Structure 1
Amino acid sequence: MVTTTKEVLNRTLKRFFDSEASSGILLIVVAILAMLVANSPLAHGYHDLFHGTLAWTPIPKLDTLHMWINDALMVIFFFVVGLEIKREVANGALSNPEARRLPVIAAFAGMAAPAAVFLLVIGSAGETGLTNGWAIPAATDIAFAMGVMGLLGNRVPSSLRLFLLTVAIVDDIGAVAIIALFYTANIKLLWIILSMLVLGVMIACNRFRIDRSWAYAILAIMLWYCVLNSGVHATIAGVLAAFTIPMRLDAKGDSPLLRFEHALLPWNAFLVVPLFGFANAGVELAGVGLAGALAPLPLGIAAGLIIGKQVGIFSAVTIADWLGLAKRPKGASMMQLWGTAVLCGIGFTMSLFIAALAFPRYPILVEEAKIGVLSGSLISALLGFALLRFAPGPRGDMDEEQETQAA
């Protein structure tokens, strides 16, 4: 009986971790757990764990566990994002100009509209000092959004899954650019020069066909340390390092990029991002209060995610299709497309990350921003799921691909 129970548990865990919805489900659980802990008798210990000064740290600038997670561990997340972007641009969904046209248009509209909605809400409330948070609702969480869609199984046509994934990838490119351009201060020229030198060495290694993964790993860590001290946010080093990793295949059909991606994906999905979520999603609601929860900042962020994302993406796709610039995803009804646009309003990881960068000197504003991110992401997830769950296909309950599979 014990053996049987163990086998059932092993099979259940394997199915969970193999499912595309698993990382999204884990993020939901982690976010809820963080909120519960932050509003329980354990709140003081939770805060001290992540924000208390460490007794010892090898890097003085990283003197709290929260900073180690956000400025060091999250570099792995951005490194994996960079690897994925490079692979998709080289020979994936972003390699074909026609195939990427619609997701690129949708992603840019899906970043501009939430920012505009946020600024409109903030402006109408007369809170001009909060405008630095304009980019918080502009991001889409790939794992969370794909996880929610994964729960729907074959109710969603594969064309929409690819569309959502591609939009989220382009969205990540935009978010990285925003962080580098708009959330960088106190540039230190010497460290910038050192960063460029290390990056140049990595590029040279690629050009001279050096495929040793350990060499790139060591240089990537050096690049991170230089960028960390340069004034540019350290996570940018992850993306830059990823772009230098060789993609060329060897005799076994392998490459350094594929090795890094396969090795880091599980750690990224099931450790790095959940740990980041747990460290950042915990908001003490008593500290913020009802007035804080209904303040212009959380309302602007939530409105940007819930309204701005779906309006921007859905209208961009509809107009592009109508003008003949790009065709909307094959086999998807308008309601399914709408539901997918709503799912893009799940900001979570990147939105929480940008929130911390937008108001580094004002912890109360960061807490208010978290409320906006969490509420906007939750509503977008529930609404998007409902729309896709009950949406008929373009010809009824099944699209052409599903009918073929059923036959």
Structure 2
Amino acid sequence: MAFLRRRYLSFMNIFASVLLFVTAVAAAILANSPLAPYYHQFLAMEVHLQIGDFNLFSHGGHAMTVLQLINDGFMTIFFLAVGLEIKRELLVGELSSFRKASLPFIAACGGMIIPVIMYTLVCPTGSPGGHGLAIPMATDIAFSLGVLSLLGQRVPLCLKIFLTAFAVVDDIGGILVIAIFYSSHVAVSYLLWAALVFVILYLLGMRRTTSKAVFVIGGIIAWYLFMQSGIHSTIAGVILAFMIPARPRLNAGKYVERIRRIIKTFPTMAEDGTEIVLTNQQIAKLKRVETASDRVISTLQSLEDNLHNTVSFVVLPLFAFANAGVTLGGGSGEIFGSVAIGVMLGLVVGKFIGIFSFTWMAIKSKLVPMPVGMNWKNLAGVSLLGGIGFTVSLFIANLSFGETDPVLLNQAKVGVLGGSLLAGVIGFFLLSRVLPRKQ
């Protein structure tokens, strides 16, 4: 069963990556077809969820468009899932101790610093494209793991763990960049009300509240207040994740003992071997088992599991459809300008040099040991996969140029799509050559 579950999860990772890629290609085709006006009109349509004069989907008194709802609303769900993953990794995962976190942290630092330097060499800080220097910092966990899954059982576990861990640290860096550099005109009153909501949710979490509806409703209120405050609304999703309790209400050992007691008093078959009709008492016992099962799984794990498919098969494809529509008309200078070159250079070259060199220095200086199963060749392949920056890179590109310069935004999209594709293809073929083939 464990083997089948691993194969199933591997298949779902690949399928989610393929769906994301196909959606992005479809958006690019639509944006350059006779249907382009309808595509852009759809994204510019206003969205209302209104009671009287109050519209939940509004910002600064103006109704949100479909594009804004996807980028500022649905992407908050994505960042909530990212925040839950970060919290789990910090508590019990690969970032839960200094020994475990040191190598991925060092690799991620290199994977953020060097791409920014590469981008700055092409687009200096004072230039029109200088606002996009954070675009090549990110690594797309879903896409990179999807590419790695294509190699199946040939990939040692340590490589998957290393890639996941430094991508999580990358996400932390991206979240900090969004919170610090892409928030302006802060309205303190809204921020204080949002803080109060989070305090209430934290206190409920301390009491190990298992109702996910409470956290969802509180999160929606905090999201709206953050959106009005000037702090980017997706940050509300990350903060909400850290308010959700990670400890279950019921101890697993006690749960097992309780189930055993119920099973002993619960007949499943009649004497003649036929199934029996359940009595009210037996139905009540089964409901007790169901209630206990809910309490033995923490709210954090349950919500993370529930959000996984929603994010992979709804939120991210919608985001790709709305943001990957690169317009190829208007001359090659508008498409392959300095921003596109800087982003591609940062993702393909900067990410590889940063992750590989920082890891090499950490291991050679004996700060950390080389993980068992990893060598310099497969490390090079994983470092290349770190250049797949698709989702968060597109998100930061939209924050950098979306409301100021559509030409530079178009260049940034070309750089993200081209750089992510190139890094993924080169990384895949390198790993396919250096990884041992299973008999």
Q: TM-score, normalised by structure 1?
A: 0.89
SS of 1:140's equivalent in the other structure is coil
Contact preservation (8 Å) 2:82, 2:238: yes
Counterpart in the other structure of 2:332:
290
Q: Distance in 2 between matches of 1:376 and 1:28?
A: 14
Following TM superposition, by how much is the alpha carbon of 1:127 offset from its aligned partner in structure 2, in angstroms?
6.4
Q: CA-to-partner distance for each residue in 1:298-320, whole Å, 9 max, x for gaps?
A: 10011000111000000011110
- Answering whether residue 365 of structure 2 is matched by residue 364 of structure 1, we say no
Counterpart in the other structure of 1:89:
90
- Answering whether residue 323 of structure 2 is matched by residue 322 of structure 1, we say no
Counterpart in the other structure of 1:69:
70
Structure 1 unaligned runs (5+)?
1-13
SS of 1:19's equivalent in the other structure is helix
Q: Distance in 2 between matches of 1:55 and 1:193?
A: 26
Q: Distance in 2 between matches of 1:60 and 1:106?
A: 40
- Answering whether residue 297 of structure 2 is matched by residue 254 of structure 1, we say yes
- Answering whether residue 278 of structure 2 is matched by residue 277 of structure 1, we say no
Q: CA-to-partner distance for each residue in 1:331-388, whole Å, 9 max, x for gaps?
A: 1231211010000001110000001111222222211111111111111011111111
Q: Distance in 2 between matches of 1:119 and 1:349?
A: 21
Contact preservation (8 Å) 2:194, 2:222: yes
Q: Distance in 1 between matches of 2:112 and 2:46?
A: 36
Amino acid in the other structure paired with 2:113: A
Counterpart in the other structure of 2:261:
none
Following TM superposition, by how much is the alpha carbon of 1:55 offset from its aligned partner in structure 2, in angstroms?
7.7
RMSD: 1.9
SS of 1:63's equivalent in the other structure is strand
Following TM superposition, by how much is the alpha carbon of 1:210 offset from its aligned partner in structure 2, in angstroms?
2.7
- Answering whether residue 30 of structure 2 is matched by residue 37 of structure 1, we say yes
- Please, which moves more after superposition, 33-42 or 16-25? 16-25
Alignment of 1:7-406 (within 5 A): 18-54=11-47, 58=55, 59-61=57-59, 62-123=63-124, 128-251=127-250, 252=293, 253-287=296-330, 289-359=331-401, 360-392=403-435, 397=436
Q: TM-score, normalised by structure 2?
A: 0.83
Q: Distance in 1 between matches of 2:200 and 2:48?
A: 35
Amino acid in the other structure paired with 1:193: L
Contact preservation (8 Å) 1:16, 1:22: no
Q: CA-to-partner distance for each residue in 1:259-303, whole Å, 9 max, x for gaps?
A: 21111111111000111011100111114x311222111100110
Contact preservation (8 Å) 2:208, 2:249: no
Following TM superposition, by how much is the alpha carbon of 1:98 offset from its aligned partner in structure 2, in angstroms?
0.6
Amino acid in the other structure paired with 1:27: L
Contact preservation (8 Å) 2:137, 2:389: yes
Q: Distance in 1 between matches of 2:160 and 2:337?
A: 35
Relative distance call for 1:206 and 1:128 in structure 2 (3 A) is same
Relative distance call for 1:322 and 1:152 in structure 2 (3 A) is same
Contact preservation (8 Å) 1:121, 1:296: yes
Contact preservation (8 Å) 1:93, 1:99: yes
Counterpart in the other structure of 1:7:
none
Aligned length: 381
Following TM superposition, by how much is the alpha carbon of 1:186 offset from its aligned partner in structure 2, in angstroms?
1.1
- Please, which moves more after superposition, 255-264 or 231-240? 255-264
Relative distance call for 1:17 and 1:221 in structure 2 (3 A) is farther
Structure 2 unaligned runs (5+)?
1-6, 251-292
SS of 1:285's equivalent in the other structure is coil
Q: Distance in 2 between matches of 1:56 and 1:89?
A: 37
Contact preservation (8 Å) 2:10, 2:149: no
Relative distance call for 1:329 and 1:17 in structure 2 (3 A) is closer
Following TM superposition, by how much is the alpha carbon of 1:326 offset from its aligned partner in structure 2, in angstroms?
1.3
Amino acid in the other structure paired with 2:27: A
Contact preservation (8 Å) 2:208, 2:248: no
Contact preservation (8 Å) 1:113, 1:311: yes
Following TM superposition, by how much is the alpha carbon of 1:212 offset from its aligned partner in structure 2, in angstroms?
2.1
Q: Distance in 2 between matches of 1:387 and 1:41?
A: 39
Q: Distance in 2 between matches of 1:268 and 1:337?
A: 29
Following TM superposition, by how much is the alpha carbon of 1:325 offset from its aligned partner in structure 2, in angstroms?
1.0
Q: Distance in 2 between matches of 1:389 and 1:18?
A: 18
SS of 2:216's equivalent in the other structure is helix
Following TM superposition, by how much is the alpha carbon of 1:129 offset from its aligned partner in structure 2, in angstroms?
2.6
Q: Distance in 2 between matches of 1:258 and 1:54?
A: 32
SS of 1:187's equivalent in the other structure is coil
Percent identity reads 40
Following TM superposition, by how much is the alpha carbon of 1:208 offset from its aligned partner in structure 2, in angstroms?
3.0
Counterpart in the other structure of 1:5:
none
Amino acid in the other structure paired with 1:178: V
Q: Distance in 1 between matches of 2:305 and 2:21?
A: 24
Relative distance call for 1:384 and 1:298 in structure 2 (3 A) is same
- Please, which moves more after superposition, 265-274 or 322-331? 322-331
Contact preservation (8 Å) 2:72, 2:233: yes
- Please, which moves more after superposition, 302-311 or 189-198? 189-198
